Chains A and B, each alone.
With several copies, the nearest count.
Chain A
Amino acid sequence: MNDMNKQPASADQLMIQMEGVHKWYGQFHVLKDINLNVTQGERIVLCGPSGSGKSTTIRCLNRLEEHQQGRIVVDGHELTNDLKQIETIRSEVGMVFQHFNLFPHLTVLQNCTLAPMWVRKMPKRQAEEIAMQYLERVRIPEQANKYPGQLSGGQQQRVAIARALCMKPKIMLFDEPTSALDPEMVKEVLDTMIGLAQDGMTMLCVTHEMGFARTVANRVIFMDKGEIVEQAAPEKFFTNPENERTQLFLSQILH
């Protein structure tokens, strides 16, 4: 549709590889045989009805949830129970949550420098420089010394994005980053995300903002009942979906 939908430069470098991933909550089979490859610079939007397992899928990618069967490889590291491995992966995968989850007892700046300093063992000065850089990137450098409680929802979510970026992740995961925001704030967050996409960040994004999906996604994945039902480039996905579930879903969600 526009220049954002071009295939990324090095299409062959796999960043995420899910092979036959299954997951159960107790007896409940949430993820069924998920197969998904994401190459570097790809921007993927996950959508689907509530409870279809979108969150679970991306939470499996940084081991906030454990999968029980199948293989997940992130940037060449396989996710096992090895704590070292998990730590490495987590520091390379940034995640942004629906409810921001900023640390309320730390200032915006401290939120951003915490992980670089303690995980990357970065000097404080340097961590702060990088943090300010990213805060400028999300256009709130002037809030650096406030506490999260003093910011609006949109501002908080942008801080959350900056916080994740400060770890210089290779992949960013977003779990409905705008759904807890008032309508007037959604745009500022989406703009920030579009900016990120333009810089070539590999992104996996659970969202129902179809406008956003059209603008930035290389691929839209539709999930239902724990399975990937359809995946396609957004033009195809929105104009001419193959699957009847997808059509139904789209008809409900668009207008």
Chain B
Amino acid sequence: MTTHIFKPDLPAPSRNVGVVGWMRSNLFSSWFNTLMTLAGLYLVWLIIPPLLNWAFIQADWTGDARSDCSREGACWVFIQSRFAQFMYGFYPADLRWRVDLAAVLAVVGAVPLFLKKTPHKARFGIGYLIAYPLIAYWLLHGGFLGMQTVSTSQWGGLMLTIIIAAVGIAGALPLGILLALGRRSEMPAIRVICVTFIEFWRGVPLITVLFMSSVMLPLFLPEGMNLDKLMRAMVMIIFFEAAYIAEVVRGGLQAIPKGQYEAAAAMGLGYWRSMMLVILPQALKLVIPGIVNTFIALFKDTSLVIIIGLFDFLNSIKRATADPAWLGMSTEGYVFAAFVYWIFCFGMSRYSMHLEHKLDRGHKR
């Protein structure tokens, strides 16, 4: 009987570990990779220093006219001087606190929904979803309860972009769910109607639809019937996005095992109750990431309202770049716009990835 004496662990050869090892395996593992690394470095060197130089080092930050800019680098003065317009459009300056307040309320109200330990979360959430739109409408539009009216034609800038996106998703979600249920219905007529609706909206470009809504809609309505232009655009966006949501939700519904439907039926729950209490809560939870992704797409799509002359964020920037006093600021304007859109979309996409991650863990529980 012998006892084996294990040899001690030796440190790895230095060329395999540490910075050297990392570089060897990650940057220079073969001649091809070495070449790629050099090409990559060249690319970085080509892009980053001039970009930093333009955006920061040589950029002008203070002043209030075009002449304050040296034009060596970016002229952020332009953004600064038009900032309020980019945010609020032509919303009357003395009433902008209403917009700010609405935004603050949105954030403050939403926080408890994302906290783990909020009591009565569901009830609070539903209350919030019902009450907030009313309050927001009162604050933003006014016209009742002593609030001065600010017509939608004065809305604009980032505020309008966010409103369109928010209303769009709030409307598209319920409609999309109904369409998804309809598409899986056993009644052929309902199925055909839903499929046609979904495929139509997914097949046509949003801008043609927006164009229709903005100038042609009254042609289809009886004379004298008048709908707000913004509202019409929103309706179209809701239909459009609902078609996409429907497909996302359908994926979730398909993932629910048949046993769940049967168990609900066997307990005596009817179609709507089993949907509301059993199937949808599970299906929707599964597709939250998909819904967030649709929302990101929707957020980007709002920029198309520029085509029908609404003064959204992108349009207010585009108009500002056409201002003779600030000619030649296209790059600054578009870079700023890109930055803002990017922040929102990137943030949301990270959130969606986080949710996906969390859901994954939830399933493995």
Answer yes or no: A and B touching, Cβ < 8 Å.
Answer: yes
From B4, B267, B285, A245 is in contact (CB under 8 Å) with B4
From A32, A103, A242, B263 is in contact (CB under 8 Å) with A103
Q: Are B259 and A115 in contact (CB under 8 A)?
A: no
Cβ contacts A108-152/B at 8 Å (1 or 0 each): 000000110011000000000000000000000000000101100
> What does DSSP make chain A's interface, helix, strand, loop or mixed?
mixed
Is A253 interfacial (CB 8 A cutoff)? no
Cα separation A227 to B277 with both chains bound (whole Å): 38
Q: Which residues of B contact A83 (CB under 8 A)?
A: 270
Shortest beta-carbon distance from A172 to chain B in Å: 11
From A24, A102, A103, A247, B13 is in contact (CB under 8 Å) with A24
Q: Are A105 and B281 in contact (CB under 8 A)?
A: yes
Q: Are A29 and B9 in contact (CB under 8 A)?
A: yes
Shortest beta-carbon distance from B268 to chain A in Å: 4
Q: Are B266 and A90 in contact (CB under 8 A)?
A: yes
Q: Which residues of B contact A64 (CB under 8 A)?
A: 262, 265-266
Stretch at the interface among A4-12, A91-99, A187-195, A198-206: A91-99
Cα separation A64 to B266 with both chains bound (whole Å): 7
Cα separation A29 to B257 with both chains bound (whole Å): 26
Shortest beta-carbon distance from B352 to chain A in Å: 20
Q: Which residues of A contact B254 (CB under 8 A)?
A: none
Cα separation A164 to B281 with both chains bound (whole Å): 21
| Total B residues in contact with A, Cβ cutoff 8 Å | 33
Given A103-B282, A227-B6, A244-B3, CB of A115 within 8 Å of CB of B267? yes
Which residue of B is nearest A240, CB measured? B1
Is A13 interfacial (CB 8 A cutoff)? no
B6, B7, B263, B281 interface centre (most CB from chain A within 10 Å) = B263
Q: Are A32 and B273 in contact (CB under 8 A)?
A: no
Is B17 interfacial (CB 8 A cutoff)? yes
Q: Which residues of A contact B10 (CB under 8 A)?
A: 22, 29, 32
Is B365 interfacial (CB 8 A cutoff)? yes
From A90, A99, A118, A230, B259 is in contact (CB under 8 Å) with A99
Shortest beta-carbon distance from B289 to chain A in Å: 17
Query: Chain A interface residue count: which class?
Result: 35 or more
Cα separation A96 to B336 with both chains bound (whole Å): 57
A→B interface (CB under 8 Å): 22, 24, 26-27, 29, 32-33, 62, 64, 68-69, 83, 87, 90-91, 93-95, 97, 99, 101-105, 114-115, 118-119, 147, 149-150, 163-164, 167, 224-225, 227, 229-230, 242-245, 247
Sample of 10 A–B contacts (CB below 8 Å): A24-B17, A27-B12, A32-B9, A32-B10, A33-B7, A64-B265, A97-B259, A119-B268, A163-B267, A243-B3
B→A interface (CB under 8 Å): 1-4, 6-7, 9-13, 16-17, 21, 257, 259-260, 262-270, 273, 277-278, 281-282, 285, 365
Instruction: A103-B260, A224-B4 given; name 14 further pairs at CB < 8 Å.
Output: A26-B12, A26-B16, A29-B10, A32-B10, A95-B263, A97-B262, A103-B263, A103-B264, A103-B278, A119-B269, A227-B6, A244-B2, A244-B3, A245-B4
